Structure 1
Amino acid sequence: MKKVGVLGGGQLGRMMIQSAMNLNIQVKTLDPDPNAPCKATAHEFIVGSLNDYDTVIDFAKDVDVLTIEIENVNTEALIDLQNKGVTVYPKPEHIQMIQDKRVQKQFYIDNNIPTSPFVLIDSIDQLNNHTDMLPAVMKVGKGGYDGRGVQVMKSTDDFSKGFEAPSLLEKMVDIDKEIAIIAARNANGEISIFPAVEVVYHESNLVDYLLSPATITTEVEEKAKEIATSLVAKMEFVGLLAIEFFVDKEGQVIVNEIAPRTHNSGHQTIEGNITSQFDQHIRSILNLPLGNTSRRSASAMVNVLGEKGYTGEAIYEGLDEVLKLPGVYIHLYEKFMTKPERKMGHITIIAPSKDELFDKVDAVKKHFKVIA
C-alpha cells in the first residue's frame, strides 16, 4: 500500500485524503495546528512546523511520495530529500519559483508566457522612478496570499501604502473577466487540462464564487488551455498546477499567478466534472493515468466565509434551506472557530442550465451564513 506524505493539514489536504482513500492510499500529514482539518481523516497526523528543516526531513522518512497542499514549506529540506531519492511532487524547484512572485513573473517573460508588464521594486523609494506604470498593482514577492500583500496604486498618493520588502509593480490590466484553469501532468509526461472557470471576487480580493462554464468565447478558452499546456510542459511540472488568468477588454489572455497544488478555483470539479481536481492530483503524483476532465453539467462553487463582525465558535445559519435545494452540496472544513472572512467551507452547485445555476448561487449566498 502506497503512503503519501502531505505538507499541510488544511482543507485542501482533507479533500485530498478523501480521494486517496478510494485507492487504498495511506496519507500522512504535517501541520503546525494540532486541530487542523486533516487531523480527523489522516492515517497519521503529525504536529510540527512546515518550515523547520529537521521536522520536514524526519516527516518524509517513510513515505513513498511527498507532496504539498500549501506553498509555505521548507524547500531546502525538499531539495535534500529529492537528492536522497525521495519522490517529491511538485518538484522543489517549482515550489521555490512559485514562492517568489518576482521569480515567477520572470519565468513567464523568459518562456514567452503572456503576462502583464512589470518592474521589480526593492523599496518604497523606488516607486517614484516608475510613475509611468500607473495605474498599477504592487505585490510583495514572498508571503502574500488570499489578497494579502497586494496594494492597488492608482496614483502617486498611494505610494505611501507600498511594501518595504522586495516586491513587483505590475501595470494594471483593463480586465473583462478573470478565469482559472487547473492543469495536471504526471511523470510520464501525460497532460490533462480542466475546462476554464470564471472567477468572481469579493471586494476583499477573496473568491466569492466560480462559474463553469465561464462566460467567454471558444477562442479565449482555447488560448487559455494552450497557455496552460505550454506552461506545464516547459516547466516539466509534475502534479496539479492552478493557473489564474486575466482576460482583457480586447480578448487577450494573460497569466496572473499560478499555484502548485489543488486550489480554490477547482472545487466545483468535485461534483461538476467526471474527475475532481483532488482525484487528479493523486493520479498525477503517483504517475497513474490522468482522469477525464469533462464537465458533467454546468456547475458553480460558492465560498463559505466567516461573516464580518463575528469571531468565536462557528454557527451555520441556513443549513436547512440550502440542503433542500437539489444539486447543492455542502463541504465544511471542520474548522470550529470562525472569524471575519475565514474560509470555513464551500458549497458546490450543479444545474442543467446557467439560469438555474445563477438562481441557486443567489439562494445559497442569501441563506447560508457563518456567524458565532
Structure 2
Amino acid sequence: MDYFSSDFKLGILGGGQLGKMMLYETRKWDIYTKVLDNSDEAPSRISCNEFVKGSLLDFDTVYNFGKGVDILTIEIENVNLDALEKLEDEGVKVFPQPKALRIIQNKAKQKLFYVDHEIPTADFQRFAYLSEIEDSIANGGLKLPFVWKVAQFGYDGQGVKVVRSLDDLKDLPKGECIAETMIPFKNELAVIVSRNAKGKIKTYPVVEMEFHPEANQVEYVICPARIDEKVAEKARALALKVADKIGLTGLLAVEMFQTKDDNILVNEVAPRPHNSGHYSIEASYTNQFEQHIRSILGLPLGNTDSKVAGVMVNLVGSEGHTGNVVYENIDEILAMEGVTPHIYGKAQTRPFRKMGHVTIVNNDLAKARAIAEKVKETIKVISK
C-alpha cells in the first residue's frame, strides 16, 4: 500500500500529547490522519488532517470512526474494545490488536496473564470491590502495607496508592482493584519494544525512572539506565518475552522493578508510545513515535540506538495552581546547553497535570542529569 502523499488514511483514537507527537511524524511523511477525541481542546486537533469530537468509549462513535480509515491505532488504551473487534472482523487493520488490549486494559487481567505465562511480577490479590479489601485485612488474608491499583481507567499516577492503614482506603473508587505486595527495589526500569506487522522486533535501551513520591508520576527518565550490563540484558530479555507472549503490533512499553538482589519483575505495560520513551525525540536515531508509525504500517524498523545520553524531565502543574497556564522561566532553560522543551498545548493547568516535558542531551550522562535537575528547579508550570 502507498502511504505517502496518497488516499491512505490513518486513524488515531485519542488526541492527547502522545497523539500530537505521533502527528509530527505523519506530517513529516505526508500521511493523511484522522483523530477522534472527546475534547475540542485536544492537543492533536491542530496537527491532523481531520478531527472528530466524540467518546472513545462509545461503541457507535468508535465503530463509525474506524469505518472511515484504512489502519486504526491508539494513543490511549481506554477505548471501546467491542467496536475495535467488530472493525477488525470486518477487515479494518487495528494495531495494537484488540486481543492484546483486552489483556492490558484491565490491570487484574494483565497480572493474571503474567502468572499464566510465567512472567515474574509482584504477588497480588484481585478484588471485585474495595470493601473486600477491608474484609481481607480483618481476616488476615492481606497484610499492610500494600499497593492498591484500580483495575481500569487509571492514568498518570491516578489509580495507584500505597495503603499503610485502613484510613488510606477512604475515598478510593469502590470497584474492581488489585492489591500488590510492596517490592523493595533498587530501581524502576523500562524497555520499549517495537514490533512491526511483519513480526520484526527491536528494543530501545533500558531506561531508569525516578518518580515523584506523592504524585506517583515519573519526574526523570534517564537513558541509558545506570545499571550493570548483566541487569540490562535481563531487563531486555524479559521485555521481549512479554512482547512475544502478548503478540501486539506497534510499541509496548514494559515497566519493571530491579529488586535488591538484581532480579527483574514486570510492573505493568502500555501498548503505545510512552512517557519513558520521550527522551528518544532528541537522543535516538529513530524516536519512539516514528517507530510506532513504522511498526503499524509494516515498514522497516528504525535504529533504536541512542546518539547521545538523554534525560527527560516531566513538566507538571505546580501545586496550588489551577487555571490558564504560564511557563515561568522557560527562557532561562532555553539558554541551557542541550535543553529542548516540548509544550503539549493544554491551556489549563492544575496540580500534577502533565503539561509538557524537557529533554536534556549530553555526551556525558552525569552532566545531562545535573542539567536536568537545574531545569527542574528553574521552570515552573503555574497559572495566571
Q: Structure 2 length as normaliser, TM-score?
A: 0.94
Shift of 1:175: 1.3
Amino acid at match of 1:188: K
Partner residue in 2 for 1:20: 26
Question: Higher mean Cα deviation, 226-235 or 191-200?
Answer: 226-235
**Of 164, 167, 171, the match for 2:174:** 164
Asked whether the 8 Å contact 2:147–2:182 carries over to 1, the reply is yes
Residues in 1 aligned to 2:167 and 2:9: alpha-carbon distance in whole angstroms? 54
Partner residue in 2 for 1:54: 60
Question: Which SS does the other structure have where 2:320 is aligned?
Answer: coil
Partner residue in 2 for 1:192: 202
Note if 1:246 corresponds to 2:257.
Answer: yes
Asked whether the 8 Å contact 1:175–1:248 carries over to 2, the reply is yes
Partner residue in 2 for 1:38: 44
How many residues matched? 372
Partner residue in 2 for 1:180: 190
Asked whether the 8 Å contact 1:197–1:211 carries over to 2, the reply is yes
Shift of 1:157: 6.0
Call closer, same or farther: CA 1:315–1:163 in 2, change over 3 Å.
closer
Which stretches in structure 2 are left out of the alignment for 5+ residues? 1-5
Shift of 1:158: 4.5
Partner residue in 2 for 1:138: 148
Call closer, same or farther: CA 1:210–1:331 in 2, change over 3 Å.
same
Question: Higher mean Cα deviation, 177-186 or 137-146?
Answer: 137-146
Question: Higher mean Cα deviation, 81-90 or 175-184?
Answer: 175-184
Amino acid at match of 1:40: I
Amino acid at match of 1:53: F
Residues in 2 aligned to 1:270 and 1:127: alpha-carbon distance in whole angstroms? 46
Shift of 1:324: 0.9
Residues in 2 aligned to 1:12 and 1:162: alpha-carbon distance in whole angstroms? 28
Question: Which SS does the other structure have where 2:67 is aligned?
Answer: helix
CA offsets, 1:171-228, max 9 Å, x none? 1101110011111111211011000111111121011111111111111110111011
Asked whether the 8 Å contact 2:211–2:220 carries over to 1, the reply is yes
Q: How does 1:46-85 map to 2 (within 5 A)?
A: 46-85=52-91
Residues in 2 aligned to 1:370 and 1:156: alpha-carbon distance in whole angstroms? 34
Residues in 2 aligned to 1:158 and 1:32: alpha-carbon distance in whole angstroms? 32
**Of 132, 136, 144, the match for 1:127:** 136
Q: Structure 1 length as normaliser, TM-score?
A: 0.97
Tell me the C-alpha RMSD between the 2 structures.
Answer: 1.4
Shift of 1:122: 2.2
Which stretches in structure 1 are left out of the alignment for 5+ residues? none
Shift of 1:62: 2.3
Residues in 2 aligned to 1:210 and 1:31: alpha-carbon distance in whole angstroms? 28
Residues in 2 aligned to 1:371 and 1:29: alpha-carbon distance in whole angstroms? 29
Partner residue in 1 for 2:299: 288
Asked whether the 8 Å contact 2:122–2:267 carries over to 1, the reply is yes
Partner residue in 2 for 1:365: 376
Shift of 1:34: 0.5
Partner residue in 2 for 1:215: 226
Amino acid at match of 2:178: L
Shift of 1:163: 4.7
Residues in 1 aligned to 2:159 and 2:41: alpha-carbon distance in whole angstroms? 26
Asked whether the 8 Å contact 2:149–2:161 carries over to 1, the reply is yes
Partner residue in 2 for 1:261: 272
Call closer, same or farther: CA 1:291–1:164 in 2, change over 3 Å.
same
Residues in 2 aligned to 1:282 and 1:215: alpha-carbon distance in whole angstroms? 29
Asked whether the 8 Å contact 2:10–2:31 carries over to 1, the reply is yes
CA offsets, 1:80-123, max 9 Å, x none? 00000000000011112111100000100111111011111223
Asked whether the 8 Å contact 1:210–1:265 carries over to 2, the reply is yes
Call closer, same or farther: CA 1:360–1:105 in 2, change over 3 Å.
same
**Of 305, 319, 322, the match for 2:316:** 305
Note if 1:103 corresponds to 2:109.
Answer: yes
**Of 332, 336, 341, the match for 2:352:** 341
Asked whether the 8 Å contact 1:331–1:346 carries over to 2, the reply is yes
